Amino acid sequence: ELQRPKKMSEERTVTLNTGSKLPAIGLGTWEAQLGEVGEAVKTALKAGYRHIDCALIYGNEFEIGDALQQCFSEGVVKREDVFITSKLWHTFHSKEEVLSACQMTLGGLQLEYLDLYLIHGPVTFKPGAMGTDDKDNLGYDPERIAETWKGMEELVEKGLVKA
């Protein structure tokens, strides 16, 4: 027997340790082209998507931010009804750099907070490296990643990140 499909907003979620509910289906914005990603975000939100996945390294957070603000102002969705994830890039793996990197992301996305902020990967790159060239890879250092994690926890304490 065929059943009417659920609305995207009624789809499965994953409950995080904070109690936040992460929608299992989301729109990824990696390799989404400038001039197209904003429309993709608006279309996805209008279609019922409630999770948008971003990262500073993708280079498109400003356009995504414009699309989000347009959808919020037009009443398509409320900010609190959209789960927004972004990621800390490998060049910002120090306690001191985590805050500035998050603020860059928040500025681009034009948001007061992120629902989830992840460490993009466990290895560290040289400052300023925005690619994945091996010559820029400083490798994995447990002490450095522990300091990065402390910076991530401070973002939660400051209310800039929920998880």
Give me the active site residues, please: 58
Structure token digits, residue 48 = 């019922």
116-152 exposure pattern, b = at least 16 Cβ within 10 A, e = fewer: bbebbeebbbeeebeeeeeebeeeeeeebeebbeebb
Alpha carbon distance 37, 29 (integer Å): 7
Structure tokens at 17: 């340790």
The helix (run of H) or strand (run of E) holding residue 84 is strand 83-88
- Tell me the C-alpha to C-alpha distance, in Å, between residue 123 and each of 55, 142, 143, 161: 16, 10, 12, 22
Q: Compute how many other C-beta atoms are within 10 angstroms of the C-beta atom of residue 17.
A: 6
Other beta carbons less than 10 A from residue 21's beta carbon: 15
